Amino acid sequence: MKKISRRKFLKLGGAAGAAVLAAGYPLFIERYLVQTNSYQIPVPNLPPEFFGFRIVQLTDLHYGPLVPLRLIQNVISRANRIPCDVIFCTGDYVHEKDATGQIDTVWPALAGLRAPSGVFSTLGNHDHWADTERSQYWLNRTGQNLRHKTASILRNGKRLWFVGAGDLSEDHRDLDALLADVPEPDCRIVMAHNPDTADTMFKGRVDLFISGHTHGGQVDIPFIGPPVLPVKNKTYSSGLKTSPKGTGVFISRGIGWALYPVRFNCFPEISVLELVPVPENG
């Protein structure tokens, strides 16, 4: 048997180690490297009183397999330390189906979210697949419930409105019925788990949609993009997009997984949105 030189042995070992690292990186490393990313979001009809208004968005936590509670607790702690005005949670807090165990575990942690002007939450498809009634119970108990509701913040006589749309596949409601509660001149921001909600039939004006659901595709191939996106409108990957109606749609990459248990070139994120007026030439 021919002996392998020490140099060749080290080279082979290094190559094998690199291969193992490359194979394990999307599963064991990137998926846990949660970034805090800031975005400046131009919003039509934004009153000057709300220039620089900051929203921290958490979405798609998917507590469950490969997303431990300690990771979610860390994300919540980080979110609470970010200077902001409000926190938005846009759904899919659990991963299970037809059970309440994960709901009753993750929501006491979510109850610890704090922001000066409030925490507002809606539900995603996975929350309904687990248990709608129990998810609704926790929305109410935490005081974060914006599902099928509206809320506003008043500054110097001007209001900024938040509208909680349902999940498109599980409890979608007529947006016009929700928008009817908002005075026509006022700025309206719609929280909708699925960004495809921006493409549904409605007549009322929306100034910004804030969504999750896509996870950014979880795998973002350079020069190609995400090979899989769970939406009809394939432009809705992540970041700020524009709907066919001309409305801004912001989509966060979220925290957990649903498509497949990996992330590659698509880090999980806590999104920080700073609202600014649309430029006059915009």
pLDDT at 18: 34
d(C-alpha 65, C-alpha 95), whole Å: 8
Cβ contact 238:252 at 8 Å: yes
Q: Between vectors from CA 43 to CA 42 and to CA 44, what angle results, nearest 5°?
A: 125
Residue stretches of the chain with pLDDT short of 70: 1-24, 26-28, 281-282
pLDDT at 153: 98
Cβ contact 207:188 at 8 Å: yes
Give the amino acid at 152.
S
Tokens of 93: 């807090």
Residue 159, beta-bridge partner list:
154
d(C-alpha 217, C-alpha 5), whole Å: 45
Helices (H), the chain: 6-24, 69-81, 101-110, 125-142, 175-179
Its pTM stands at 0.91
Residue 155, beta-bridge partner list:
158
pLDDT at 17: 35
pLDDT at 14: 40
pLDDT at 27: 67
pLDDT at 16: 33
pLDDT at 77: 98
Pick the CATH number of 33-277 from 3.90.660, 3.90.1150, 1.10.10, 3.60.21: 3.60.21
Domain extents in the chain = 33-277
pLDDT at 25: 74
Q: How many CB atoms lie within 10 A of CB 186?
A: 15
Pairing between β-strand 35-43 and β-strand 150-155 as defined by DSSP bridges: unpaired
Tokens of 198: 């921006």
Cβ contact 122:191 at 8 Å: yes
